[in-house]
Amino acid sequence: MTIFGESHGPAVGAVIDGLAPGIDVDMNFIASQLDLRRPYGKISTSRSEADDFSILSGVFEGKTTGTPVCIMIPNTAQKSRDYSATRTLARPGHADYTAYAKYHGFEDYRGGGHFSGRITAALTAAGAIAISALRGKGIMIGTHIARLGGIDDRPFGQSEADLNKDILILSEKRFAALDESAAEAMRSAVAAAAEDGDSVGGVLETAVTGLEAGIGEPWFDTLESMLAHGIFSIPGIKGIQFGGGFDMADAKGSEYNDPFCLADGKVRTATNNNGGINGGISNGMPLIFRSAVKPTPSIYKEQQTVDFMERKDAVLSIHGRHDPAIIHRARIVVDSVTALVLCDMLSMRYGTDWLAG
């Protein structure tokens, strides 16, 4: 998997190598996933692109061929305004300064360049194929906004059946809170922050059902390692925890350990504080993890900063379109990355043909 593109370049895209042959590629589903990632209503940026995508390779007669799939999404809505005035002012919380430190000034700085959230459109399109492939094998993925602006969503269902219902519900929501009144309160919190020229973050919670026991490697490619590796590539993610994680820092072993039990002859655990993973390997329970999403760094409030080329203090006011929250858009990216990582790990374990059925 390779991701390419810049916010204000000709296109963003992804190349996925190693996909099994014969996976159905549903163009409508890709389009609908891209749509869920797009800005939404008043609580999002006013930059809104149609996200027309082209599949340049690796798909033939509606199915993957087994060779690399290149998906390209042209950039059409970028404004050609002049970035030179603020080019050397490091936007706090953004990658302007670190990109400069890494690329020595050769980076495409317009609109965040390669660090723009725009790039996640490519991930989403690629992820849509992975999500479809996993569904075909009975593996379901869903993410909800577990917390935003101090408001908690209702928890995921406990049983696998209830979880699957929740995942289905989420797949049809533009704003992914399970409890509609919580959703309403969260949207109000975003709107309030927006009015204040400010932004919010929150916590996403992801569930994966239908994953068999035995996936993951003890050193160094545990299931937690691989998922964390992928999830931390998503801009704005600053934390991840599996099962109890930080929330159970004060728990005792007798509380945290998940006693094993049998259900329909299958090995299960009575609780799921380990988030479906023991010793880095899936145990057959639902995979549960939470990701911390920091508040969008682009705010309208005036901020202190420096001119990193001239090495002098500066004051920055950011204008233009941007999101007071990205968490409701990021959830589809988290689903996508999760699916891509799982496809990789399942192919490793069961061979390159497995996903094709």
Q: Token pair for residue 154? A: 């209702």
CB of 172 to a copy of itself, least distance (A): 26
Residue 92 in contact with a copy of itself, rule: CB under 8 A? yes
Q: Which of 43, 99, 139, 182 binds a copy of itself (CB under 8 A)?
A: 99
How many angstroms separate the CA atoms of 107 and 114, rounded? 8
Of residues 288 through 317, those in contact with a copy of itself by CB under 8 A are 290, 292, 294-299, 301, 303-306, 308, 311-313
Residue bearing tokens 């204040």: 196
Q: Token pair for residue 255? A: 């509380």
Q: Which of 50, 83, 184, 256 binds a copy of itself (CB under 8 A)?
A: 256
Residue 185 in contact with a copy of itself, rule: CB under 8 A? no
Tell which residue, 136, 147, 280, has the closest CA to residue 210.
136
Residue 244: which region, alpha, beta or left (left: phi > 0; alpha: psi -120 to 50)? alpha
Of residues 172 and 319, the one with the C-beta less far from a copy of itself: 319
CB of 78 to a copy of itself, least distance (A): 13
Q: Which of 3, 31, 169, 191 binds a copy of itself (CB under 8 A)?
A: 3
Contact 123, 331 (CB under 8 A): no
Residue 35 in contact with a copy of itself, rule: CB under 8 A? no
Cβ neighbors of 107 (< 8 A, separation 6 or more) are 99, 100, 113, 114
Of residues 108 through 127, those in contact with a copy of itself by CB under 8 A are 108, 113-115, 119
Of residues 172 and 219, the one with the C-beta less far from a copy of itself: 219
Residue 90 in contact with a copy of itself, rule: CB under 8 A? yes
Q: Which of 167, 183, 237, 334 binds a copy of itself (CB under 8 A)?
A: 237
Of residues 78 and 303, the one with the C-beta less far from a copy of itself: 303
Contact 345, 226 (CB under 8 A): yes
Count other C-beta atoms under 10 Å from residue 246's C-beta. 9
How many angstroms separate the CA atoms of 200 and 138, rounded? 35
How many angstroms separate the CA atoms of 12 and 105, rounded? 21
Q: Which of 26, 32, 49, 63 binds a copy of itself (CB under 8 A)?
A: 63
Of residues 162 and 255, the one with the C-beta less far from a copy of itself: 255
What Rg do the C-alpha atoms of the chain give, in angstroms?
21
Residue 244 in contact with a copy of itself, rule: CB under 8 A? yes
